[in-house]
Structure 1
C-alpha cells in the first residue's frame, strides 16, 4: 500500500515500518486504507500513497526500535491517518527532523486539508527555514499543487472565513505563498 510512496531503495525500510504498524483500525473498520490515492511526481518517479489510513497509531510502541530514516517513513505514513491529531503529531515530528526530499509529498499534501491547526503549526515551523526543496517539488507538480491551493481556499471559505475575513490574512495562504512558492503564474 505504501511501497509506491517511497523510492525503491527504501523498500526494506518501508516493509519493516509497515510490518510494525498496528493491524487494528479505528471503529473496527474493515478497510485499513482509503480507496482514493494521492499521485505526484518527484525526480521523474511516480509517488503514490493512500489518501487516508485507518490504522490505530501505535508509533509510541515501535519508535525506539527504528532508525532515523525508518522513523521518517513512519511519520510520513501516519500523516495520512484518519485522525487529525495523529496527522498533526506525525507532521510535527517530521518537520522537526532533517527530512529527506522523498518526505516532501507528505508534507505538502497534508496542508491542503481542513485542519487549520496543522496549517498554523506547519507555517510556524517552516516560515524561518529554507523551503527551496519544497518549492521545487510544488513547481514540479504544478497542476496538483494548484488544485491543493484551490482546495485550501475552499476550506477557508467553508470553515474559517468568519475568523479570517480577508483571505490574505489566512494562514493557509501565507503557508502556500511564502513556504511552498505558490503564485498566480503557476496556474497559467
Structure 2
C-alpha cells in the first residue's frame, strides 16, 4: 500500500491561500515533480507531492483492467482523498485546491478529480487519460462547475492513446469542466514549453 509520504515546498498550508497537489509519473519521485514548480506561476501556493511506494502508483498500464492494478490504484486514490481532506481542514477550500500530474501521475489525477467532481481551482494533466481497459461511467459523479482542466499530449504517444484522451475530454466536458486540450503531433513523451505556457495561462493565473 502507499504510505502517506508527502514532500512539501512553497508556502506552508497556514500561510497559503492556494494549494497544489503534484503527482509524479512512474519511476519518478516527489522531488522530481516538485522540481517542475519553478516553471509554473505557483510561487504563492503550498505545494504538496505524495510519493508512490516503489515509485509507481499502480503496476500495469492505465489501460489494464482496473482489478489488475489493485490494490495499488485504490490505495493511490485514497491517499489523494486524504490529502484533499487534510488541506480543507487546514482552511483552504476545494475551490483553491489545484492538481498537476505527468504521465501515470496525470492519469491518476484525472481519475481522482472525475470521481470527486466539484469546483476545484484547476487541473493540469500532462499526457494522461481516465483509467481502465474501458471507461466505467459508474465511477464518476459530481459537477466540476466550470473547473478549468488542461490536458496536453503527444500523438502518437507510446503510453497514452489519443482516443482515450478524447474520450476523457468528452466526459470531463459533460461534467461541466472547462477543458483545454493541446495535441502535439509527433512529440515524444515529455512536457513541452507550449504546454507549460498554456497551463499558466488557463490554470495558474
Which one has the bigger helix percentage? 1
Q: TM-score range by the shorter chain?
A: 0.3 to 0.5
Q: TM-score, normalised by structure 1?
A: 0.39
Using the size of structure 2 for normalisation, the TM-score is 0.37
More strand by proportion, 1 or 2?
A: 2
Bigger RCO (CA 8 Å, 6+ sep): 2
